[in-house]
Structure 1
Amino acid sequence: MSVAFVFPGQGTQAPGMIHHLLDHPVVIRTLDEISEALHFDVRSLDKEQCLESTNAVQLALFTAGVATARALIAEGVQPAAVAGLSVGAFAAAVTAGVLQLRDGVELVRLRAMGMANLYPTGYGLSAIVGLTESQVEAIVHAITSKQAPVFVGNINAPRQIVVAGSNVAMDRVLDEALRQGASKAIRLHVSVPSHCPLLQPVADLLEKRICTMNLSTPQMPYVGNISARAMRTKELVAHDLVNSIAHGVRWHDATTVLQELGCNLFFEMPPGHTLSDLARENLPGVNSVPIEASVLPRVLRLAQQAEAHT
């Protein structure tokens, strides 16, 4: 049994999320390093008002993920593989050693600003629970239009599908999903249409910038967003980081690959427990633990037990 680190994406943010991280010297040092790269204190980003900004949200999530992962590694918890949903992939790539921390900060900032500038209002994400991917695809195909586009985005679980696009079209999709028997169909707290072709210009920006960076070979497998493959080269990781913003995320498939790699213990980086809930509901045999300050002793015990059984 091995450990995987998993990193959540936008929508999991919460006020105070950076201030509630592990009280650990490595966390403090990482926050200082990121603040230096940003030229302001990253701790200021977790205020409720700040978290209305896509830029603040994505930088805060990246910070929380990298800082916590580094602290766990410093305590002797070595992941056998990593995966991150959406912007969480950048924290996963830093943890795997593909990106330098400063480069990760720059890419996340560029990504978030590009997304917000393209679609400041009128677009977002919604989640549909209880229908299959093919059912949601059929609904989306019937409703989308050039004037009000909507796309299938993330496949978080076999029956938890995220759609992305214009608010007008998403409202129609949600109504139809409920009519066809969805148990839940709700708007998410994300104000941009992530992971669909509308964001190809952002992918193009990221491609130009990442080509100038000094990337390194992953120190452990990185499981990608687009294809849910275990990636072991810097070129494949870079391609996934750049292009996932304009493609759907196959998160359920990615976590299945983690399990196939022998990772039956997931440590979910903060904030929240969304990825652990998905694992609990859809991956029998996987124990997924959200990392909070109060559970650190338990996390270290679980990691030691996993190492003993590897």
Structure 2
Amino acid sequence: MKTAILFPGQGSQKPQMLHELVQHPAIAETLSEVSEVLSLDVRTLDTPEALQSAVSVQLAILTASVATARALQQSGLEPLAVAGLSVGAFSAAVAAGSISLPDAVQLVRFRAEEMERMYPAGYGLSAIVGLSETQVAKLVEAENSKEHPVFVGNINAPRQIVIAGSNEGMELVLQKARAQGARKAERLDVPVPSHCALLQPVADSLRLQLQSISVKDPKPIYLANVTARAVRTAQGVARDLADNIAHGVRWYDATTVARELGCELFLEVPPGHTLSDLAQENLPEIKAHTITPETFNRLLNLAKNEATS
């Protein structure tokens, strides 16, 4: 069974997430490697207090995801494709062998610090469920202004759209979405306006940094955030890592491409479960599961046994 590993983004975090990973040598090695790069114990970043910071959140998610993916890969899993949502793209790039973990840590720390510096308050993300991309785009176009900017962000499913921008601009769109019959229209636990033009300066800086590090062709196929294309070159990975912060993520399209490539099993690494839920909902013919300490061996065996059957 061809497998895709899914890497969650900001919003999936939870306290103690780095203390609840599977027991595996790759986990301990990864925690130590990240701690050395940061010059602090990375496990201090998953307290409720630390997780108030986007920097701690993004670094903790990167660490948990890469550690678990390494545990799977060192245990014999060879995924056909990897896909990461937002900051999860950096985890996917590490798992694909495109960038080193130390470089990913430095890039993610810079990315998160700049996001917080530019927008310390008053901005974020919201989700609208029950309206189409076209309907949400019309609402956003009507309310977007210089004073209260708001943009279409991620397309998680045909009727699950994320918007990004100022609190005031998002609230105007959310109110109209509810009036048009949205089943859900609410703020997400992300206090920065990811995946919109407000963060173009961060994308420009990341592009320069990526030019100065070693980026390699991905070994598993890397599924891009911005274009939802199957990427097989170092240049394509670098472009997506830089650009995704300032563009919407076409997540639904990316998972559809994974299925078209032949992936039948989707495994989401910690700390999230949203991506596996979306995959199962959007692609009911596939199997989608979340990796936990309790499911690790069973799902690893499922992937390996199906691959050889």
TM-score of the pair, normalised by structure 2: 0.99
The alpha carbon displacement at 1:162 in A equals 0.1
1:74 is matched with 74
Q: Which moved more, 1:271-280 or 1:235-244?
A: 271-280
1:196 — aligned with what? 196
2:63 corresponds in structure 1 to 63
Are positions 1:220 and 2:217 aligned together? Answer: no
User: Structure 2: which amino acid aligns with 1:203?
Assistant: A
Aligned residue in 1 for 2:48: 48
TM alignment of 1:98-247, pairs within 5 A: 98-247=98-247
Structure 1 regions of 5+ residues with no counterpart?
Answer: none
Equivalent residue, structure 2, for 1:305:
305
Q: CA deviation at 1:300?
A: 1.9
Code of the aligned partner of 1:139: L
Conserved? CA contact 1:3–1:306, under 8 Å:
no
Identity %: 58
Once residues 214 and 183 of structure 1 are traced to their aligned partners in structure 2, the CA distance between those partners, rounded to angstroms, is: 45
Report the AA paired with residue 57 of structure 1.
V
**Does the CA contact (< 8 Å) of 1:3 and 1:79 recur in 2?**
yes
Aligned residue number for residue 296 of structure 1: 296
Deviation at residue 261 of structure 1 after TM alignment: 0.9
Aligned to 1:35: 35
Deviation, 1:297, is: 2.1
C-alpha separation in 1, matches of 2:29 and 2:255: 30
Map of 1:263 onto structure 2:
263
Q: Deviations over 1:125-181 (max 9, x none)?
A: 000000000000000001110110000000000000000000001111111000001
- Provide the residue aligned with 1:249 in structure 2: 249
Question: Which consecutive segments of 4 or more residues in structure 1 shift more than 4 A?
Answer: none
Q: What is the total number of aligned residue pairs between the two structures?
A: 309
Q: Distance in 2 between matches of 1:277 and 1:99?
A: 28
- Counterpart contact for 1:125–1:194, Cα < 8 Å: yes
- Structure 2 CA distance for aligned equivalents of residues 122 and 110 of structure 1: 21
Aligned to 1:282: 282
TM-score, L = length of structure 1: 0.99
Match for residue 26 of structure 1?
A: 26
Aligned residue for 1:14? Answer: 14
Asked if the contact 1:197/1:247 (under 8 Å) is kept, the reply is: yes
- How far 1:231 sits from its partner (Å)? 0.3
Q: Distance in 1 between matches of 2:260 and 2:3?
A: 12
Distance 1:307 1:56 in 2: 37
Once the two structures are TM-superposed, the CA of residue 298 in structure 1 deviates from its matched residue by 1.1
Between the aligned partners of 1:122 and 1:255, the Cα distance in structure 2 is: 32
Equivalents in 2 of 1:36, 1:270: separation in Å?
21
**1:117 shift after superposition:** 0.4
Residues 14-67 of structure 1 show CA distances to partners (whole Å, capped at 9, x for unaligned) of 000010011111100110001001111101100011001000000001001100
Give the superposition deviation at 1:301: 2.1
For the residues of structure 2 that align with 1:214 and 1:153, how far apart are their CA atoms? 29
Structure 1 residue 204: Cα displacement: 1.1
Residues 172-227 of structure 1: CA distance to partner in whole angstroms, max 9, x if unpaired?
11110000010000100000000000000100111111110011111111000000
Letter in 2 for 1:194: S
Offset of 1:304 from its aligned partner? 2.1
5+ long unaligned stretches in structure 2: none
Shift of 1:237: 0.5
RMSD (Å) for aligned C-alpha atoms: 0.7
The AA in structure 2 aligned to 1:221 is I
